[in-house]
Chain A
C-alpha cells in the first residue's frame, strides 16, 4: 500500500533522497514536499558562480517545477512548517495540515549571526540561499563598499563575487589566517596574497564590535576602534543546524538533530538528513556525505539495510583562479612529520603531514592537480614508506603512475560509454581489441571510438593497455595518420630543415605510404608548407576542409553560413542595410548574432555564395573568416569612447589588431579580445590571445579557451603602448604559426612547450620578437586579402560554385 511521506526542506540532500526513492520504487510513497523558499531544489554549491556572474540561477536548478509535477510530488513551496505533531502524525503548515506515515526533516542549516549591536539593520545580509545571493547582486549593482565578516569558505566566495561585481571589498576574519579550519598558515598566506592581488582588503584578527547606522548599515566598528565604511555587510561566520522544528517536537537534539546510522531520529517514524543532523558527534556541511546520507535514508525508507559511515573529506574553494586543496588532519604533533614543497615564484605551496608511515593530511595551494591522489592515500591509509622520497611530487613520480586510472577503467562495466560522439561502449572496444585491433588507429578504424572529438583517446589507450597488458606499449608519440610514421613535430621539423616546399616533396622525401595523403594529413601538411614558405608555396584549396575551401561554414543540410567581418564588432547603418538586403535577396532563412560580435546569415545555397559575396563586397564588407583555422574576431568593449570605467581605447586597439591579423592562417582558430578595463567585459581572459587594458598600459594574455575545454588565460607580459601590444601579438601569432601542430589551439600548444619558453622567445628576446613580427608581416603580404572578392571576381573560381551541368532541364527542351 502507498504510504504518505512528508519531507520538510527541498535542498540538495532531500532532493537526492527523492531521486533514489523514485528510481528504486516509484510507487512506494505518496510524497509531499515543503520548502520555506518559494522554489524547488537547486545546486547551492553553485551560488558562488551565480554571485560572481559566471552562472545564472536557471543553470543551477536541479529539479524544475515540471520535474516535480511529472513525478506526482505535491509541492508546498514558500510555505513554512509551523509544527510537527507526533501524536497525530501530522505536519502543520501555514496553509494546512498534512498527515504522514513517515517524515523526513531536511531543514538544512541557518547562518550564524553574531549578536553585535546593529546585526539586524537593513543592509546586513547572510549568505545561505538564492535570496541572499540576489540581495547581494542587487546591492553590488549600486557599487560602493562591502564588508564581509568571516574569512572561511563562504565568506571568501562572497568577497570574490562582490569584488567581481565591482564593489570595494574588505574581509574581516577573527583568526590569524584565512580558512584556518582547512588551511595551515603558509597556505592561508598565499590565499591572502592572491585575494589582495585582486584588490580585496583582508584584515585578520579583526573582531567586530558593532554595525553602525540609523536606518541601515553604514559602517562596521571593530574592537580595535577602527571604523570601516560599508554599504553592504555580509555575515558569513558560519552555519548551525536548523533544529527548531525538531526541538519543538521534543526529538533528541544535540548540536544537530541526532540520528542513527539509518538516519532515524529518536522517533522511529521520523528521519532527518543533511546539514541539520548530527551523527556520532559529527556535523556535515559538504555535499559528499549528504549524498551518502541520502542513499542510506532512501534505503531505510524502503526497508533495505544500509548504514551511514563518516568518511574523510577534501575541500576546494570555488574562487576562480585561487587553487587550493585541503584534506585530512594537518595539525602539528610530536609524532607527526611534515614534507613541504615551496615554489615562491609560482606561488606554490604543498605540505604533507605523515604519521606512522601514513599520510594524515595534505594542504596544497597554487597547484592542486595531485589533490585527489593524496586524498586517496589518506582515505585508504596507504603505507607510504616506499615512496616517501618522491611522495610530494605526486603520482607521476611513483612508477606505477597509471595504476589508479587503469584500475578505474578496468572496473567499468562493458556497457559503459567510452566515446560519447560515436556512442561506442567499452564492450565494443574490448572485443575489437580481442579481434586484433591492437593500436589506436586500428580501434578508430574498426569502432570509430575516439575518432571524432578525440577527448576519449586517453581512455581508449588505457583500455588497450588494460586488455593487452604488457603487449601494449603506449606510443610515445602518435604519427599524424596511417599515411606516415612521422609525428606532426617531425614533419614540421623536416619541412624546415630539408626545405621541402611542395606537397609532392613531402610525400616523396618523407616516405608517405599513400599517393597524396588523406583527409587527416593533407590539410596539416598544406598548412605547414604555407606557414613556413609563405612566398614559395601556394595554399591548395583542395587540401582544405570544405569550409576553408568555400570560405563559408557548411551546415548539416549542405547549405552554408555567411559571416561578414565587423572590425572590432563595430558596424554602421549602411552595412546593416546591405546585410538586410542580402538576406532578403537570397532568402536567408536565419539571421543570427554571433558570440564574436557580428552577424551570421545561415542557410545560403552553395551556388549563391559568389552572388551574396559580391553584394556584401559592394557595401565594403569582407569575409569574417568565421570558418577558418585562422584569425576569427577581435571582440572588444567600448573602452574610453563611452565607458566610465574604460582605461584605454579598447575598441580602437581591437580594430587595429583585427586589420593587422585578418586573413592569417593559423594551426587552429584564433580568437582575440580587448577589454578596456579589468572588469573585462570583452571576456579577453578566455580567448587565445587577450588584451586587458589598465591605467598604466596593456596586459597581454594568452592560452584561454571556452569550448570543449574551459580555461582562463595566463599573462604573457605587460606593455605600455599600442604599438608594442601589436608587435607582441604579431610575434605571438607567428611563433604559434611556426611551431604548433595543426589543430592545436594556443592553450594546447602551450601545454606542450610551456609558457616560459614562449616568454623567453618573445618577451625577453626583443630581437627575436621583432624578427617574428617581420616574418608575420611577410606572410600577411600574401594572405591579408578578402577571399570572397577573389572568388566572386574570378570567373573560373566563381563557376565552380555552380553545377557542372544540369541534365534535368534538357528533358523539357
Chain B
C-alpha cells in the first residue's frame, strides 16, 4: 500500500462527493451520512454519467443521468442494471483522507 494524503474529510459535504484526478481517470470520493468515505470511478458504466454529482444515500450512490444505483462497497450496480464501477482503498486518519496510490496507478512520489 502506498497511502497518499489528498485532503480532509470536511472537504467533502455530508452525503456528497468530490473528485480526485488520477492517472486512471477521475475517482470520486463519497462521504456518507455516517461519515464513512468510499472511493470509486467517477464514471457510470451505462452512459458515462459523473457519479460524484449523484445523490448519496446509505452506502449507495445514484447516477444523475439515468438513476443507476451502485453499492459503494462492491461497486456493483443494483436492481435490474448490470455493471460495476471500480472501487479503491481509502481511509480516514485523524480527519485526513488517504487513498492507495498503487490502486490508482500512482507510484510513490517519494
Which residues of A does B touch, CB under 8 Å?
444-448, 451-452, 514-519, 522-523, 540-546, 549-550, 554, 556-558, 606, 799-800, 803-811, 813
Contacts and interface: CB of A to CB of B under 8 A. Distances in A.
6 contacts: A445-B79, A516-B33, A517-B57, A522-B57, A799-B11, A808-B22
Contacts of A543: 15, 55
Given A807-B6, A808-B23, A800 B13 contact: yes
Given A803-B19, A808-B22, A811-B109, 19 more contacts: A452-B66, A515-B57, A516-B57, A518-B57, A540-B15, A542-B16, A542-B55, A543-B55, A545-B55, A549-B53, A554-B50, A558-B49, A799-B11, A804-B7, A804-B18, A804-B20, A806-B21, A807-B104, A811-B106
Contacts of A549: 53
Contact of B13 (A451, A541, A545): A541
A515 B21 contact: no
Contacts of A542: 13-16, 55-56
A591 B109 CA distance: 43
A519 B11 contact: no
A809 B106 CA distance: 11
A514 B57 contact: yes
A448 B21 contact: no
Contacts of B80: 444-448
Interface of B: 4, 6-7, 11-16, 18-23, 26, 29, 33-34, 47-50, 53-58, 60, 62, 64-67, 69, 79-81, 97, 101, 104, 106, 109
A809 B66 CA distance: 32
Contacts of B50: 554, 558, 606
A351 to B, nearest CB: 49
A519 B54 contact: yes
The dominant DSSP class at the B interface is loop
A458 B81 CA distance: 23
Which 3 pairs show the lowest CB-CB distances between chains A and B? A519-B62, A542-B15, A804-B18
Nearest to B48: A558
B68 to A, nearest CB: 10
Nearest to B19: A803
A556 B22 CA distance: 22
A345 B51 CA distance: 54
Contacts of B19: 803-804
Given A554-B65, A800-B13, A519 B49 contact: no
Contacts of A550: 53
A518 B22 CA distance: 29
A266 B65 CA distance: 63
A799 B58 CA distance: 25
A545 B67 CA distance: 10
A345 B3 CA distance: 76
Nearest to B66: A452
Contacts of B106: 807, 811
Contacts of B34: 515
B99 to A, nearest CB: 8
Given A447-B80, A514-B57, A519-B67, A807 B4 contact: yes
Contacts of A805: 6-7, 20-21
A785 to B, nearest CB: 20
A504 to B, nearest CB: 9
B62 A804 contact: no
A804 B64 contact: no
B29 A804 contact: yes
A556 B64 contact: no
A514 B15 CA distance: 14
Contacts of A811: 23, 106, 109
Contacts of A546: 53-54, 64
Contacts of B11: 799, 804
B15 A516 contact: yes
Nearest to B42: A558
Contact of A556 (B16, B21, B56, B65): B65
Contact of B58 (A448, A514, A804): A514
Given A543-B15, A554-B64, A556-B65, A804 B6 contact: yes
A542 B52 CA distance: 11
A813 B109 contact: yes
Given A804-B7, A804-B20, A804-B29, A516 B13 contact: no
Contacts of A544: 55
Given A448-B80, A519-B62, A813-B109, A803 B13 contact: no
A805 B28 CA distance: 11
Contacts of B67: 451, 519
A480 to B, nearest CB: 13
A807 B20 contact: yes
Contacts of B56: 542
B91 to A, nearest CB: 15
A452 B55 CA distance: 17
A515 B32 CA distance: 10
B21 A803 contact: yes
Contact of B21 (A446, A541, A807): A807
A554 B69 CA distance: 18
A515 B65 contact: no
A803 B18 contact: yes
Contacts of B7: 804-805
Contact of A800 (B14, B18, B66, B69): B18
Nearest to B81: A448
A516 B6 contact: no
A544 B54 CA distance: 9
Nearest to B106: A807
A765 B18 CA distance: 50
Nearest to B33: A516
A803 B29 CA distance: 10
Contacts of A447: 80
A768 to B, nearest CB: 36
B11 to A, nearest CB: 6
Contacts of A807: 4, 6, 20-23, 101, 104, 106
Contacts of A806: 20-21
User: Which of B7, B55, B65, B66: most chain A Cβ within 10 A?
Assistant: B55
A800 B7 CA distance: 12
Nearest to B13: A542
A810 B80 CA distance: 40
Contacts of A799: 11
A556 B47 contact: yes
A553 to B, nearest CB: 11
A557 B106 CA distance: 26
A444 B4 CA distance: 41
B57 to A, nearest CB: 5
A445 B68 CA distance: 11
Nearest to B7: A804
Nearest to B25: A808
B57 A519 contact: yes
B46 to A, nearest CB: 11
Nearest to B59: A515
B55 A803 contact: no
B31 to A, nearest CB: 9
Contacts of B47: 556
Given A445-B79, A807-B23, A516 B58 contact: yes
A451 B34 CA distance: 29
A804 B15 CA distance: 16
A803 B80 CA distance: 32
User: Which of A546, A549, A799, A813: most chain B Cβ within 10 A?
Assistant: A546
A542 B14 CA distance: 8
B51 to A, nearest CB: 10
Contacts of B101: 807
Nearest to B10: A796
Contacts of A516: 15, 33, 57-58
Contacts of A522: 55, 57
Contacts of A556: 47, 65
A444 B14 CA distance: 29
A451 to B, nearest CB: 7
B60 to A, nearest CB: 8
Given A445-B80, A543-B15, A558-B50, A523 B21 contact: no
